[in-house]
Amino acid sequence: MSKNINIPFIGFGTWKLTGEVCVKAVSKALEAGYRHIDTADRYGNHKEVAKAVKDSGIKREEIFITTKVWYTELNYRNVLGSLERFLDELKTDYIDLLLVHWPNRQIPVEETFGAFCELKDTKKIRYYGVSNYTIHHIEDIISKGYRPFVNQVELHPSFNQKELYEYCKSKNILLTAYSPLGMGDELKNPIVVELSKKYNVTPAQVILNWIISRGIAAIPKSTNPVNIKDNLKSLEWKMEKIDVEKINAIEQKPRLLNPPWQEFDY
């Protein structure tokens, strides 16, 4: 849990999961003990997430649901309109965390964050935040008097976001790591493999434990019930500081996700 936001540090990522595969994976995750599900309008799986949540029989208030507004829908009216549709699709009265999916400097900050604050005041959302924002984007929001609770970004050992991490920490903004396993690539990293032997855990657990040790949340994705359970176990042990630093020192590579609409150079 973070100081500012009451969020389970390991969530279940649902990007690219649709239809019955999505229902099954989210059901397995809830059964394994996950209480934080990450979705987005763009993923097209709100209804599947809702079905898995309903079928689980777990009380709504025990599950933390994050979803995201697409970057073309960030004006005041469209944020409010999107949210009503999300509530309907997700079959819920409120969203725990509503994020801007990608920054869009064409739309004034006040439009989006004005709507977010209103939704928070009327308890339709508990927290709001952003995704794929650079330091510069966040400074723009802060200069208008708003502070996101979360910035969800790509983060894994060979893309550790050091500068953004230090900045967000200084502003009390929780980072959440998407693609925390580098879409699977990072599991083969020799340092990760070496540490997995030292602690007698899987490489995925090493990476997720390293992320949590830095005070960052993570939303690993899996359709394999064994891996789904394994990832949650990353919360059950503690990595020595020296090993956290070892992973911090892994050589950095370019980001994996770089779509045409990104504003990473800002």
Q: Using CB under 6 A as the criterion, which residues of the chain lie in contact with ligand A2P when the complex forms?
A: 13, 179-184, 187, 202, 204, 220-224, 227, 230-231
- Of residues 42 and 147, the one with the C-beta less far from ligand A2P: 42
Tell me how far, at minimum, the Cβ of 200 lies from ligand A2P, in Å: 15
- Of residues 16 and 85, the one with the C-beta less far from ligand A2P: 16
- Of residues 148 and 180, the one with the C-beta less far from ligand A2P: 180
Tell me how far, at minimum, the Cβ of 79 lies from ligand A2P, in Å: 27
Tell me how far, at minimum, the Cβ of 129 lies from ligand A2P, in Å: 19
Please, which residues bridge with residue 263 across strands? none
Tell me how far, at minimum, the Cβ of 13 lies from ligand A2P, in Å: 5
Backbone angles phi, psi at 237, to 5 degrees: -145, 170
- Of residues 161 and 231, the one with the C-beta less far from ligand A2P: 231
DSSP string, 33-77: T--EEE--GGGT-HHHHHHHHHHHT--GGGSEEEEEE-TT--SHH
- CA distances 2 to 5, 6, 10, 265, Å, are 5, 6, 12, 29
Closest to 139 measured CA to CA, from 167, 115, 110, 160: 167
Q: Which residues are catalytic?
A: 43
Reduced to 3 states, what is the DSSP secondary structure of residue 169? helix
